[in-house]
Amino acid sequence: MNTPCRCHWVDLTKPDYVAYHDTEWGVPVYDDNKLFEFLTLEAAQAGLSWYTVLKKRDSYRAAFANFDPVKVAAFDEAKAAELLQNPGIIRNRLKVAAAINNAARFLEVQAEFGSFSNYQWRFVNNAPQQNSIAGPADYRATSPESDALSKDLKKRGFKFVGSTIIYAHMQACGMVNDHHNNCFRKTQVVAS
């Protein structure tokens, strides 16, 4: 059986990483709870590898009320202290505080735009950007769109939303299709 060509960054020895690449990464996401999940996980990933966070995703789902922003926004100091004792997540005080803060800001954006999806997708004119990735040098860390979204999120009081984090978020939730040109998922994601 031929192994399909995948993006160079996928570690083929890690089945969960391969599954993430093959089923989730780059697929357009419009569900607000899923967008809140990706935003929270990308912020948690700052300074770490994505795989570190991916391995902890189930623990994050349990700890952060299945990424329900209404519930997370209501977390108090006692809950934050409890989270900092949870070995299943990244126990960084600033990142935990940011997740709780961002949930409240997320609800404000939902109230203003009808959904976070409506707000977020405006930054790419409501259509996934198709990038040409011929090799590792073609991957970027930011874009004018991630700069603009990051700046706007910061203005609205979000934390851990620098342009690099936001570009990774945009990749994860399909605002940009950064699958390698030869990756079998490139055209599948376009068709989704």
**Annotated catalytic sites, by residue?**
20, 42, 50
Residue 126 tokens, joined: 């409501």
CA atoms of 173 and 35, how far apart (whole Å): 7
Q: 8: annotated binding-site residue? A: no
The secondary element (H helix, E strand) that includes residue 117 is helix 116-121
Q: 5: annotated binding-site residue? A: no
Q: 173: annotated binding-site residue? A: no
On whether the CB atoms of residues 57 and 41 are closer than 8 A, the answer is: yes
Q: 21: annotated binding-site residue? A: yes
The secondary element (H helix, E strand) that includes residue 41 is helix 32-45
Residue 49 tokens, joined: 């590898």
Across 59-69, b (16+ Cβ under 10 Å) vs e yields: ebeebbbebeb
Helix, strand, coil share of the chain (percent; to 5): 60, 0, 40
Known binding residues? 7, 21, 179, 183
Known binding residues for Zn(2+)? 7, 21, 179, 183
